[in-house]
Structure 1
Amino acid sequence: MHANSVGLTPSQQPKPNKNSRVPIIVFSMLIILLLVLGWQMRDEYFITAQNGVGYALGIIGGSMMLLLLIYPLKKRFPQSKLLFFSTRNWFRIHMMLGIVGPLLVLFHCNFSLGSTNSNITLASMILMVSSGLFGRFIYGKIHHGLYGNKIMLQELLHSKILAREQINDSALAVNSISPEQMKIIQHCEHKLQKVNTVFGSLSTSFSLSLTTRFAQRRLKKEIKASSTEIETLNHLFDYLQAVRKIANLAFYERLFSLWHLLHMPIFFMLVITGFVHVYAVHRY
């Protein structure tokens, strides 16, 4: 069976463009710089939450966080003409608003604690941002880059099957697969079946990460001068890498589903505490 009949092996999979990370790195450095400057200047009281620029920053930052709802609405109604940007573009905007909005609120409160209701709102916002960053981390594990397509389990399974068939063909040709190596393959196949829960997939991912990496180190030591055995070794590497990716993807997909159930309640808690804060400020 040829590679193009099933799919690409892990070593042939397209890699994310490194140039696409430059804007993200620049944006992250700018945010960090603003956080450091804001923290160092908090005792100067250039900004106050009650009026002027500080008040405006609070309104703008809070409005930005309300706009975060547009992205899930776009996902729910992708054909809506009212939400004129594409889902991918709204995701970019969602990521930016989820960072810039809270940053403006921090400047609004001058990086300091205030009344009880404002402190509760601030704590909810920090929890929401932390949840968003954690979700961003998980998202990157199940997609090709920040804005890339979702990594499909079927693609990885095809890669694993292809590598396994190539290993079998090599073994029939030169009998170059040792019983120990075949035992490792059987162990991997058995472990991949135990990924039904979050904790089960975590255990499998951790176990196979160690097993496959140690196996690859041993394979490097066992390599001989024969080009056929070098080719077999490459097939084994492809197989072990595919196994590791399958186990990791299964874990992160289940973790992402669990995170998604928790992130929305955290966001609505922020919205409620934000409205209470605004009401309390203007009422009293």
Structure 2
Amino acid sequence: MLKIKELVYSLIAMIFITLFYLLVQISNKEIPSASSFWGHSLGVLGFLLMVMTETLYSFRKRSKRGARWGKMSSWLEFHIFTGIVGPFMVLLHPGWEFKGLAGVLSLMTLLIVFSGFFGRYIYTSIPRTTSGSEIDLKELEMTARRMETEIARLKHQDKTQPIQKINSNGGTVFNVLSRFWIDIGAVFTDLAIRTGPSHPAKQTELELLRVRRKYEQVQRQINDLAAARKLLSLWHAIHIPLGLTLFLVALVHIGATIYYAILIY
């Protein structure tokens, strides 16, 4: 099961922001415009969160003394949280008027968020420790051997569940991208067994399914490790320039807003 607490926290934050936004709209009897106090507040806070998204995680990753500031996995969770909530606030900032530069900025914000979700999906394809560091190939192979021993023990107890080792000629990008559907299928298989008729060997059958699923996951990780790393590297090559372009457009937008505000004043 993937850790998704940062997604849950992001959803909760967006719900509260939406409720507050609706409260302001009802109170003012109109949608907060980009030039209003609330519109500006959303834009400024959202942009600050996006700056934190772009800088803090990168700083922690490159810091030689970064360990003293906490685990990489925790920083990544915060990176994802700010990378979702910040753009959401920026999208609310123009008051649903996506014209000119604001429209371009909104489109790029959506692209960067979508890219971030895609990157997280690829990132979780590479096996890691709880601290966020990669697990090397030898350790994965040792885990697979232990799983094979456990499967053999359970097969001896229950001959009705044959286990077949995954055969693969090597991982591909398609294998990495199809992981979600494999996980969904495993959930339905587990549900079918749990809701099926009870019998003496059911507990062993469930344990066998759990170990088999873990074994197949490790086998996929071994087979797809090189493809996942290659795909993650390609994603970085696209995501980082896209993020820098977004900030360039945002700075132009902010500069133009300040300039015209001073000019009008």
What TM-score does the superposition give when structure 1 sets the normalisation length? 0.62
Distance 1:94 1:124, change over 3 A: same
Of residues 229, 238, 250, the one that matches 1:274 is 250
Identity across the alignment (%): 22
Gaps of 5+ in 1: 1-14
Residue 190 of structure 1 pairs with residue 167 of structure 2? yes
In structure 1, the residue matched to 2:37 is 52
Distance 1:241 1:122, change over 3 A: same
SS at match of 1:190: coil
Structure 1 segment 77-226 matched on structure 2, within 5 A: 77-79=63-65, 85-86=69-70, 88=72, 89-110=74-95, 112-140=96-124, 142=126, 149=132, 152=135, 154-165=138-149, 181=162, 185=164, 188-191=165-168, 193-195=169-171, 197-201=172-176
Matched to 1:34, the amino acid is: I
Residue 71 of structure 1 pairs with residue 57 of structure 2? yes
* CA–CA separation in structure 1 for the residues paired with 2:154 and 2:9: 48
Distance 1:102 1:248, change over 3 A: same
Residue 34 of structure 1 pairs with residue 17 of structure 2? yes
Count of aligned positions: 248
What TM-score does the superposition give when structure 2 sets the normalisation length? 0.65
Q: Give the CA RMSD over aligned residues.
A: 4.9
Superposition deviation, residue 253 in structure 1: 3.5
Matched to 1:99, the amino acid is: I
Matched to 2:21, the amino acid is: G
Distance 1:123 1:39, change over 3 A: farther
Q: Decide whether the 8 Å contact of 1:71 with 1:91 is kept in 2.
A: yes
Q: Deviations over 1:64-95 (max 9, x none)?
A: 212222211220224269xx833535434323
* CA–CA separation in structure 1 for the residues paired with 2:154 and 2:44: 66
Q: Which protein has the larger Cα radius of gyration, Structure 1 or Structure 2? A: 1
Superposition deviation, residue 236 in structure 1: 5.9
* CA–CA separation in structure 2 for the residues paired with 1:33 and 1:282: 29
In structure 2, the residue matched to 1:241 is 213
Q: Name the structure, 1 or 2, with higher relative contact order (CA <8 Å, separation 6+).
A: 1
In structure 2, the residue matched to 1:12 is none
